[in-house]
Structure 1
Amino acid sequence: MTDPPKPTANMYAIVNNITASISPLNLKSTNLPSTWKNWLNQFKIFLRASNLEDQGDKRKVALLLHYMGPDSLEIFNSFNENLVVVKYDKLIEKLEAYFLPKVNIVMERHKFFTRSQKDGESIDEYITVLKNLSLTCDFKDLREDLLRDIFVCGLNNNFSSIKERLLNEGGIKFDRAIDIAKTMEATKGQAQQLQLASSNNSNNVIAAIHRSTSKSQNHHHNNNSSSSLSNKNNIHSSHNSRSSSYVPSHQVYNNKQKSSSSAHEKRCYKCGEIHRSKCPALGVRCNNCKRMNHFAKMCKNKKAYIRNVDVSSDYDELSEDTAQLFIGMVHIQQAYAVSSSSEQVDRWIVPIHINGTSVQCQIDTGAQANIISKQMFEKICSGVKVMKSSTKIMTFSREVLPVIGYCNLNCQHRGHHYKILFYVLNLKCQAIIGLQSSIKLNLIKKNNF
């Protein structure tokens, strides 16, 4: 094994320049775990930039403790380690354990699920916050899908057109949702700048016409004053007749502007928004009638449908009064018959025998509850008692859906029988199988990489 390279005079000069920006670790920080992570990354960058990564453990341990500051030595002494023989990697592990307490998964996920876009917060800033919050939530393979869902549902009301567009897009990837949101945000900003410039030009034109009109009126008034010395009564009667029918030119111009402005402010019959540039509904397929170039909210073929919903309850497969789960999500699609096999694949539709009847159910790995419509329940579950429930099922816009109650139903899949808890909704909607029940029914399988 070759010895590590010895430091040279040039290396010392580089180190002195770099370390000028490294401050001691702030042990009084209100967010010490985050402060430690940032400081350690800065120290690792220093080691690489100064070509000290290949130095021995003694030198790197000494550098680490030196730049952490004298107050950190008390922490090192509490480890009861020998400064001469302790390994650099082992010391880093002990410091990690000291500064980074065990993560409370429930609390971290609560922060993530309840985070919405703040006023004045840009799309980029909102995305960065959500990504950082998700790192400590242990979502594994569901991380990208949950990032997309919370990103869409948490968008500020100022970005309602972006939310509408993303909801109409359906099951797109998170990166694709980001691209659409950024493009629409940039387009909105450019449209506002153009509208502001157009408004300023209009104000200048009105002001110029007003000044021109005032000058002509003053000139006309002076002429009338001089002529009134010779024939006052005739001028007076003539002036009265003109004043009754005279309308200033700037007033006529303003009236035209108002009528033109009211025409521009009419809402678009395709997207429901007021816009002067390209309509955001162009090229978009309606989730209601499946035709192109309009949003579902503006569709003339009205059908009952439900978009993404959020379930907040104490949920268990057989009982409501068990472990508390702070949030869950159920993606409910439109309540129309599935017309093609490709559409079934896209929506993960599978037949499940419920109380002896085959029911087309949608698999939703983001849901922590199973739901069935009142119509389907009455059709296949005669004699089954529905228990009252205090559970609330809400859309992403916080609209509460009508929950009749819950019941345990006999389900059969591939020859195996199960008892599954369903919530009964007073709506025409697709039956949903949530994450836990999908695993229980062997509809999905978790892969450990």
Structure 2
Amino acid sequence: DKRKTWCQVWGENEDSASKSTEFHASLIAPEKFDWRNQNWEKWLQRWERYRVASNLARMTSTYQVNMLIYVLGGEADELLDRLGLLEEEKEDYETVVRKLTEHFNGKFNLVFERSKFFARNQYAHEPVEEFINNLHSLAKNCRFDGLKDELIIRKIIQGIQNVQLSESLQVKRYLTLKEVEVRVKQSEMVRKQQEEIRGQIEGKNLDVANKEVQQGHTAARWSSCERCGGFHKNSPCAALRYKCNKCQKIGHFAKVCRMNQNQVREIAADDNESNSGSEYHLQSIKVSAISREKPDIEVTIGGNVVGFIIDTGADVSIISGPLYNSLFSKRFPLSKTDLKLYGAGRHPLQLLGKFKTTLSIKKGRKIEDTIYVMKED
């Protein structure tokens, strides 16, 4: 029969019971007591945990006393002799611990410990959980007894960083320690959630703002009117009823007549700003908004997008006076220039001035350039 008898079961239970009461010497004891700082309460707390976990508490009282004195170190033997205990008292664990506690607490600075507690406030960016735990730890050494919870409540309310919550809790008459801790922890959690939500909303608002800016730039893409040379959106052009004095055709002014289109395509520059007095001729203008041809590229100047013609063989950038007055005069004041430009047949072109700015083109490329403003007849 493989079934166990009652005697066998009883014997096994006896063996397991005896094993559960064995002292586990392999369990590492607390660190040696610091006789200089003499933080007895803290060390004793760790020792009591070790005494229970190692089954030392199940041993005889004499055995426990010997283990305690051994772990405390050689100074403990001398101290035990000075405590004035009777021989039988030296073998009673509870009596020895009580006498040691009275000895060490006699050197305890209660005023200092309480000062640390009342001076403790929540640090900036310190989690409220950490602040509350530290208050409980400090209160252990203050001997507040029955006032402990009430004083911790007052210190939490006075010491938290949230001034509005502190004022709100101060007017409450009856609050338990648990209620106060729950309130301040919930408030911190809600604040963090709101900050996260605000961050997400601000990110979305930034995207919307960027789109509005881009739309604003699109709205600023005005080109000079091919009929009058001015700048207007969808309103009827006044030149529709006028006859051109050059080609005698109705529908545009003489200054924008295509008969003088070649004049824009052949411009020479006389560099009087140098002492050389030499001249050089350009096949066409490098970047120009005065041409009536379809723009090759869109260039951003001061937040406004304008169509321009590109010629890699040119050396100057030029825009018309009406374009400057419409979009750039308020932001970019003109400075005087001695540069002379000549059109076809050495016909001089009158310049109103120049200004320096940043030209932005596609793919984020930016260049610093001088823009010359030409007066139109």
TM-score normalised by L of structure 2 = 0.49
**The structure with more radius of gyration:** 2
